[in-house]
Amino acid sequence: MATQQELKAKLESERQRLQTELRDLAAEEEPTRDARLAREQTGYGNHMADDATQTFEDEKQLAIEQHLRGMLDEVERALHRMAEGTYGRCENCGQEIDPARLEALPWTTLCLRCKTVLESRR
């Protein structure tokens, strides 16, 4: 099983990866946003199908960004819990989270039992 130091390194690596992906996504989006603004300012639009495709791509990009930001938030929270000394305890029942679960999902906040109960309520 992984030590807390190994899990911390894994979380820090994941944080770096997510931050890089968010930066890359923002850099990718910039030319698209500029082109869209230019089209809107001139008053000439593309064909409706082109507009729909662009809208779909914009929404997809936004969903990816929101997912990455959510994951980054979870990783940051896990690192904060490590600093506080509460890492590895279920936020619902207070029991220790199985080390194998933490190794697989180091940002998890719930033990498997509590997660299963939560999922069954949805």
Domain region containing 11: 4-88
The DSSP secondary structure of 49-87, one letter per residue, reads HHHHHHHHHHHHHHHHHHHHHHHHHHHHHHHHHHHHT-T
Q: Is residue 77 part of a domain?
A: yes
Q: What sign results for the dihedral spanned by CA atoms 36, 40, 46, 51?
A: positive
Q: Is residue 103 part of a domain?
A: no
Q: Is residue 98 part of a domain?
A: no
Q: Give the per-residue pLDDT at 57.
A: 83
Question: What tens-digit pLDDT sequence spans the chain (122 residues)?
Answer: 889 999 999 999 999 999 999 999 988 876 666 666 655 555 455 566 666 777 788 888 899 999 999 999 999 999 999 999 999 999 999 999 999 999 999 999 999 999 999 999 98
Q: Is residue 59 part of a domain?
A: yes
Q: Is residue 113 part of a domain?
A: no
Q: Give the per-residue pLDDT at 43.
A: 47
Could you give the number of structural domains in the chain? 1
Angle between helices 4-42 and 48-84 in degrees, nearest 10: 150
